[in-house]
Structure 1
């Protein structure tokens, strides 16, 4: 209830003070933080002449106080400069120490009748008998005010106004309440003040209307000019942004082979700036490029030497400025998260070797995942480096001193003298060092204690030393000479002075860590040679291995895997690896190599030519485009039908059918695949739901998981099958090109149209296709024409042209692959909307996704991604050769399909692998950021772009 304003307001004339305030508002910020500014604004504007900024000057702390070291002195000064105190009463104000303090000051220094109460919440209850507020019912007054008033005060009830943002200033209730307060502060009767407020409003309206009328012509003209200017400005900004994005995309593509880390970052930034066909293609290309390149790892120093732990988990580097660094590399392909997802290094479970995980650490601590550990060892550059299998013992040299690095301890010098090569045994209990010249000693010592075990003077200089175990010392040079000594007494067990390398110019040399293998090059060929005493020698002389041809004219860096099954060679900007089980592999993406070492057999780490970045190569990695690790395809011959693939509607399961063998894989979890052998040799799977699969084949229809059968027989030689989104229409294309509409549950034929004749042999894939909505089917007739059948009607349309080999659907686009390699995209009309290609000799493999992407397979095993809406080629990836069978070219035994969500394509090659290719740019962006291992820098931008760098350069992971 609102209490009427009892008595009379003091009739003192109003004069707005020059330096003081007409009123001071005391309120609770917690409750009235939004209402107090509204009350202040309306009081200052009430009955305001149009030419003045305000009619009253009202103090409110948030609006009038500046930053001040003393809060209460500032408030006290404002109280002293104010003529009235307006208390916004509420339970929160009653509990506020600051509100109570302001009221106590006012009652002590100003008359009580100069205090106005605005009730915003709670209750005020006056007890006439006791002449004070009832303490049991009054909840809105601070303690200092409850007993200080001698008569019932006047107040304004604003409890109805709880949300100031929803109340218009013209609301009559608000005007009436503001008038109550304003007439008291200004000392003017309420009726006169309200009348003055109305007159001033009318005068202001007339002035505004006149001004608006005078300015309207200018405003229209200026508005037109401004609109044109804004459009031109916005267009200029868009064009500049588009031009910058396209320049970044072009720069990214240009640097793929030499600076893939920067190229990946530029492509990600280009796509973030503008998502068009060019930036998306650039992002695709950097993600698909150099498939074995796993990631870059920036270092805080320039690398001069590299070594790896025998377990393949840790990489050790020696820098030009005498530091030792350790990086625990991410796990191998197939053992970690899917490629393209955020990744981190793997903890080794071992304490870090003398560092805390920061690039400049020099004390003990544990190594965080993916951290680079850096410690100071020498005053000059590190020239030789070796580590044990576990990475717990590292031996390094700067050419004149030997240093040992233990976990948790700083490196320490254990030997002074000429050092050419060092070695550590797999167990880490023995280390060896040679000087490299005749007369230099061979020294064995305990790397755990640094204590010298024994030494032996060598009559010849040896380029490499190894410790296959703690009992054997292996020596080798660059010509093929080798020796095996007994570590106990240095007795020569076996060896040879036979020269393996040619006498004239050749390029030398790389050694496996135990020197059992060494590599050298001549005439563009790298020779990988095993010493007779090595693991493959069996004590018998062995001629050099068959050389690997590599196009490097003058290789100057070599690395050999411990087991001798891989060798790498670098020279200039070229880098190649040769694997005995994988052949020659080109490794583009960097501008040169300074040092390298193998982690096991299928992983290689190199230091870039500049030496400040490590590069991890993984030969088990198929591509960074993959959405998950590869899985094995059915182990069948590649001379039979193309494997048939189907992804469940929810995208969680994949069915692969090849030569009567059915495999169902879980795409989003570690569950083991389900396998079954069917009665028929060929067939096509179709998912009736996320849980139920039906296989139509030459035999009886087979279901999974409970193997239901139809009450009606299946047509023989099914060539294509599709299910409508509502699950009520199963469309089947028969061996003669006929189209049937069947009941999915019983197989009953509800509608059919005959075909043009026997279709091409079953090995020819994609001779028929069903649209995603189940409303049409396309069939390649024996004469190369394409018939499009409208399911459920008699509408049969023949497309122009007679050289078709394959058909498919990408959303509502019909794709027709021709014998000439062209891809025709049809929607409506008598002519195709566009032609894509050819550019390659394509197989019949063709698949489209719901959002308008397509993949085609070339005769060389290259998967080509195309945006059928624009006709642009996004990029290409190479499918890996199957490793479990031989026979015909495997690409005729490869199938492809898109998942229903349009984020992936799946390919499967008989006796090869099932691969999931991501076509989601968000995955490509994450893969680009992951491979770079860092963010763009302003130095990168200046060097590769040449313009002012933006403020935000972080990679959009």
Structure 2
């Protein structure tokens, strides 16, 4: 019997079959079943053409009929969808017949960027929407980002990205609060899980009773227990994802518990993404202010009547500064990080020297009548501005280790309330507010006689907060009119208004620039924060929206490297957000080496070599390492470099001079160690054998040859490998046993036997010419496997055993060409990088299909280089812009970092709620 036609659909999914067919199928299922008990009918009806139309339908008419009875249109946006006439027609129909407010956009590929000023998409940069969407929206629609999901293997309902997106869409369709709906979903999943556990337990008991005397029973029992552990771990991952905003500390602990319970590819993949999760510091009282020292090692947190100095490496409290009877109102560091100033609501000002942060030294203090509500400190810590209740602000001299002295005092016309204040880094310009006139700019050329330079008007309500960018060229203000405004203040006498930043749902009480002025954080009284890209203050796009605080946000501060934004709230917490590239993966460290294809990782020590000047970075400590002096100070520099397996010899090309060697045994004293001449041409690729100091050299004109560089001052004579034609900028790889050489060619790649290359010319094992251009080759250590990849985006796995040569598997997932490959030392994990600006990890077992483990995003251009440490603890990726990202792969280090910002330990009651009756084992203790 045919199912009767529905009276309505809650949503119509518009998509491109070429790219998003499987995603549309899964999205339809999950939206219909989200937060619904398994035994009840679906609560939502979602239209998708292949599900809801029979083969006899008039397709065009049926599509429009379905649109006519649908409440929402869900567009799966991608470049393919933008080119689809069906998607364009469906959007056209909706635009003509339905409100744009009932459109939801799901990004599956490409880039979306909203223009707040034009109230439309940035069409020069927006690629996944069809032409009919131009001018359709007057405000930014609800949209979610699923572009990080690479293939069908990642379409798992426990995938945190997918779960978040489904929850947001479902909440909109049902007109329900997101938190309430997610809570109901978790409750139902927990109930289902408990039911499954009871069934599994019952079946296990019956099985044991029936087969108690056999090993089969034991094996099946173990399998059942393991299956239950995996099921619980998946549920914990899902719940961790749903709790990231409201309870980030608990979310981090649930993820740690999931991995410890079942350390498999799924939980490991989630763990690899955990550095980007929000962190939390739980405090006992309202947090009024936060500030970082210049080196980023210390975070000062003001709550209650004291200031705590917290070590950012382990969240340990280093020292506590007291002395504020009615509570701390504000704090600030000078640029060196040695001087800290705190103000109190009891009118006190205290100045500490933090040369020894474990034993801070109070060097000055004073007080005024009444409450001091805010301070501003110039960069060198010699000038301090404060504001008091009753419309009074003062300028202080705090240059000496003595009580601060007043330089100037000004009073506004009001008698209640408090102005806000900001000071430029050089202390030459001060901004303050007046309820009647707006923002006042004062020149402090003569500190004892401030001169009014200009008055700024534009806010339609009271101005709540001010901050100058470093250098003082831009002033940001936040107001009770829910807006952020920017002002050009390079010429203080003639400031110019810049575009207003809109989108906050409450009055803006916090604005804060990062160290170089390229980012601005703003926060409102609803508890949400935003990050704006102010590198071009004339057109500052929104970078991220951060929601999670339950009360007002009182203060915000960027870490010196701009990677973390700390927000302080009246909900007794400090939240820590990944701010450099919100929404992307968070590398452990990053290096900017300039556009160059020189890139090598020391296998024995945490040293990275990059850039045409051959600079080295120690990547073990700072998140933004500092380089050493260049080995090649002149340009143009080398185009290729490689380290020997023992890390003691570095090879780099030297143009017409051939290959140059460097003695790197002493990291602090790298010296030239010899040269290998070449007859002609340039060098494009270098690689050492994993077994000895055999060096392979390749160049489009120089050809391919091998040399023994055991003594780099007297390298052995080169032995030519008669490759048909090495590709310019190609790749080389030598197998783990040193017996095979793989070389990329314009048509594919060639494999050569080099086991006895010193005695005779290498012989060709295979030449593959039917896979298109190959850009990357990598051997799996300890195996006979070779991975290749290139312009078609496919990764192919080959077996190069002594008597056979065959392709054994292929991997899809990247969008566009794959230009970099490397195996981790385990020989089972393959890393790939490509034009889609992602780095992907794959598990490639000897038997069975490859599986996706994780996708790292964040690069802004194509990834062309990859290298793994000899112990497999880190992976480094390099892109066309000259950025190198260091990714942490060691699970114990990741767990330690995950627990570092996880707040109070999970309680036994919480454990029972989320984990069940398993033994109580807090994962972060």
Q: TM-score, normalised by structure 1?
A: 0.56
| 1:769-848 matches, cutoff 5 A | 769-783=733-747, 785-792=748-755, 794-799=763-768, 801-809=770-778, 810-811=780-781, 812=783, 813-827=785-799, 832-848=807-823
State which of 587, 591, 595 in structure 1 corresponds to 2:554: 595
- In structure 2, what is the Cα distance between the partners aligned to 1:543 and 1:405? 36
Are 1:895 and 2:865 an aligned pair?
Answer: yes
Q: Which runs of 5+ in 1 are unaligned?
A: 1-220, 332-341, 355-374, 882-889
Give the secondary structure class of the aligned counterpart of 1:820.
Answer: coil
1:645/1:895 contact within 8 Å kept: yes
For residue 799 of structure 1, report the CA deviation from its aligned partner: 4.5
- In structure 2, what is the Cα distance between the partners aligned to 1:951 and 1:904? 32
- 1:577 equivalent in structure 2: 531
- In structure 2, what is the Cα distance between the partners aligned to 1:429 and 1:685? 51
Are 1:955 and 2:924 an aligned pair?
Answer: yes
After superposition, the C-alpha distances for 1:309-361 in whole angstroms (9 at most, x for unaligned) are 89798766665xxx234232446xxxxxxxxxx645695xxx7422xxxxxxx
Aligned residues: 652
- 1:306 equivalent in structure 2: 289
1:652/1:667 contact within 8 Å kept: yes
- In structure 2, what is the Cα distance between the partners aligned to 1:414 and 1:276? 59
After superposition, the C-alpha distances for 1:803-839 in whole angstroms (9 at most, x for unaligned) are 3432321434322224332322233677643332324
| 1:444-483 matches, cutoff 5 A | 458-460=412-414, 463-466=418-421, 475-477=432-434, 480-482=438-440
- 2:344 equivalent in structure 1: 396
For residue 279 of structure 1, report the CA deviation from its aligned partner: 0.8
- Inter-CA distance 624–924: structure 2 relative to 1 (3 Å threshold): farther
- Inter-CA distance 235–489: structure 2 relative to 1 (3 Å threshold): closer
- 1:708 equivalent in structure 2: 674
For residue 441 of structure 1, report the CA deviation from its aligned partner: 6.6
Give the secondary structure class of the aligned counterpart of 1:249.
Answer: helix
- Inter-CA distance 316–730: structure 2 relative to 1 (3 Å threshold): closer
- Inter-CA distance 739–555: structure 2 relative to 1 (3 Å threshold): farther
2:394/2:409 contact within 8 Å kept: yes
| 1:369-408 matches, cutoff 5 A | 377-378=325-326, 384-385=329-330, 394-397=342-345
- In structure 2, what is the Cα distance between the partners aligned to 1:900 and 1:453? 60
Greater shift in the superposed pair: 848-857 or 920-929:
848-857
- 2:631 equivalent in structure 1: 675
Larger Rg: 1
| 1:75-474 matches, cutoff 5 A | 225=213, 227-256=215-244, 259-287=247-275, 289=276, 296-303=280-287, 305-306=288-289, 308=291, 323-330=304-311, 343=314, 352-354=320-322, 377-378=325-326, 384-385=329-330, 394-397=342-345, 421-423=373-375, 432-435=386-389, 458-460=412-414, 463-466=418-421
After superposition, the C-alpha distances for 1:281-318 in whole angstroms (9 at most, x for unaligned) are 1101112x26xx6x532212233x32548979876666
- Inter-CA distance 352–663: structure 2 relative to 1 (3 Å threshold): closer
- Inter-CA distance 527–472: structure 2 relative to 1 (3 Å threshold): closer
For residue 280 of structure 1, report the CA deviation from its aligned partner: 0.3
Give the secondary structure class of the aligned counterpart of 2:840.
Answer: strand
- Inter-CA distance 848–386: structure 2 relative to 1 (3 Å threshold): closer
Are 1:493 and 2:446 an aligned pair?
Answer: no
2:330/2:374 contact within 8 Å kept: yes
1:861/1:878 contact within 8 Å kept: yes
After superposition, the C-alpha distances for 1:202-230 in whole angstroms (9 at most, x for unaligned) are xxxxxxxxxxxxxxxxxxx9995364554
| 1:624-703 matches, cutoff 5 A | 626=587, 630-633=590-593, 635=594, 638=595, 643-651=597-605, 653-656=607-610, 658=612, 661-663=613-615, 672=628, 675-676=631-632, 682-687=639-644, 689-695=646-652, 699=656, 700-703=658-661
Give the secondary structure class of the aligned counterpart of 1:926.
Answer: helix
Are 1:727 and 2:692 an aligned pair?
Answer: yes
- Inter-CA distance 449–648: structure 2 relative to 1 (3 Å threshold): closer
- Inter-CA distance 402–383: structure 2 relative to 1 (3 Å threshold): same
Give the secondary structure class of the aligned counterpart of 2:813.
Answer: coil
1:270/1:279 contact within 8 Å kept: yes
1:396/1:404 contact within 8 Å kept: yes
CA RMSD of aligned residues (A): 5.2
- 1:855 equivalent in structure 2: 831
- In structure 2, what is the Cα distance between the partners aligned to 1:224 and 1:682? 67
After superposition, the C-alpha distances for 1:240-288 in whole angstroms (9 at most, x for unaligned) are 222222222333344456654333322222222221101101101112x
State which of 601, 607, 615 in structure 1 corresponds to 2:575: 615
- In structure 2, what is the Cα distance between the partners aligned to 1:564 and 1:666? 23
- In structure 2, what is the Cα distance between the partners aligned to 1:941 and 1:733? 58
Give the secondary structure class of the aligned counterpart of 1:708.
Answer: strand
For residue 525 of structure 1, report the CA deviation from its aligned partner: 7.2
Greater shift in the superposed pair: 557-566 or 568-577:
557-566
1:512/1:561 contact within 8 Å kept: yes
Give the secondary structure class of the aligned counterpart of 1:927.
Answer: helix
Bigger relative contact order (CA 8 A; separation at least 6)? 1
For residue 675 of structure 1, report the CA deviation from its aligned partner: 0.5
2:301/2:309 contact within 8 Å kept: no
Are 1:936 and 2:911 an aligned pair?
Answer: no
- In structure 2, what is the Cα distance between the partners aligned to 1:481 and 1:753? 74
1:271/1:280 contact within 8 Å kept: yes
2:698/2:726 contact within 8 Å kept: no
For residue 755 of structure 1, report the CA deviation from its aligned partner: 2.3
- Inter-CA distance 867–230: structure 2 relative to 1 (3 Å threshold): closer
- Inter-CA distance 735–613: structure 2 relative to 1 (3 Å threshold): same
For residue 235 of structure 1, report the CA deviation from its aligned partner: 3.2
1:577/1:587 contact within 8 Å kept: yes
For residue 927 of structure 1, report the CA deviation from its aligned partner: 2.0
For residue 772 of structure 1, report the CA deviation from its aligned partner: 3.2
- In structure 2, what is the Cα distance between the partners aligned to 1:306 and 1:234? 52
- In structure 1, what is the Cα distance between the partners aligned to 2:857 and 2:449? 53
- Inter-CA distance 296–716: structure 2 relative to 1 (3 Å threshold): same
For residue 654 of structure 1, report the CA deviation from its aligned partner: 4.5
For residue 781 of structure 1, report the CA deviation from its aligned partner: 3.1
- In structure 1, what is the Cα distance between the partners aligned to 2:909 and 2:452? 56
2:603/2:643 contact within 8 Å kept: no
- In structure 2, what is the Cα distance between the partners aligned to 1:486 and 1:725? 65
Are 1:756 and 2:724 an aligned pair?
Answer: yes
1:649/1:690 contact within 8 Å kept: yes
- In structure 1, what is the Cα distance between the partners aligned to 2:404 and 2:618? 53
2:694/2:707 contact within 8 Å kept: yes
1:737/1:755 contact within 8 Å kept: no
Are 1:544 and 2:497 an aligned pair?
Answer: yes
- 2:841 equivalent in structure 1: 865
After superposition, the C-alpha distances for 1:587-617 in whole angstroms (9 at most, x for unaligned) are 5776136222336876576446672221345
- Inter-CA distance 715–327: structure 2 relative to 1 (3 Å threshold): farther
- In structure 1, what is the Cα distance between the partners aligned to 2:376 and 2:641? 58
- Inter-CA distance 695–611: structure 2 relative to 1 (3 Å threshold): same
Greater shift in the superposed pair: 844-853 or 920-929:
844-853
Q: TM-score, normalised by structure 2?
A: 0.58
- In structure 2, what is the Cα distance between the partners aligned to 1:526 and 1:860? 34
Q: Which runs of 5+ in 2 are unaligned?
A: 1-208, 353-360, 664-671, 756-761
- Inter-CA distance 737–839: structure 2 relative to 1 (3 Å threshold): same
- Inter-CA distance 821–507: structure 2 relative to 1 (3 Å threshold): farther
- 1:152 equivalent in structure 2: none
Give the secondary structure class of the aligned counterpart of 2:263.
Answer: coil
2:686/2:697 contact within 8 Å kept: yes
- Inter-CA distance 527–878: structure 2 relative to 1 (3 Å threshold): farther
